[in-house]
Amino acid sequence: MLEIGTVAPDFQLPDQEGNLHTLSSYRGKKVILYFYPKDNTPGCTKQACGYSANLPQFTEKGIVVLGISKDSVASHQKFSEKFSLGFPILSDTERSVIESYDVWKEKKLYGKVSMGVVRTTYLIDENGIVIKANDKVKAAEDADKMLEEAE
């Protein structure tokens, strides 16, 4: 996980519509950048729907919400349409951004060890600096928690 006070690495990734996004294009706004393991899984769906439901409050505070996983653009498009998500979810199939944000880690599930995305949320300030970082994310509570912390 990136440390608070670190310059957030810039990136260029496509969203569910194929439009390219860079972190630097959001300078002047706060950005919630959340990394999640997989589209259409229970936790990831709760997390995405939480951000979608709270999007007006984030927008009112001038905060951009971006989700990132290693799923494809096509997978993101289906996921976004199925749950009417109102924000960009970015596809990092090469894991370059996932790795630069230090969220590709060893995970243990039922005694089995594998590599995967550790659910992590960053709040990045208007100058591209990480001001909050959480790798102990509870999917269903993440959006509400970040809304409180994003004052």
Query: Pick the catalytic residue: 32, 44, 124, 146?
Result: 44
53 sits in which H/E element: helix 42-53
Helices first, then strands: H and E counts in the chain: 5, 9
The whole-angstrom separation of Cα 53 and Cα 73 is 22
- What's the DSSP call for residue 119? P
Give catalytic status of residue 49 as yes or no. no
DSSP secondary structure of 64-84? EEEEEESS-HHHHHHHHHHHT
The C-alpha R_g of the chain, in whole angstroms, comes to 14
Helix (H) or strand (E) holding 35: strand 30-35
Q: Which residues are catalytic?
A: 44
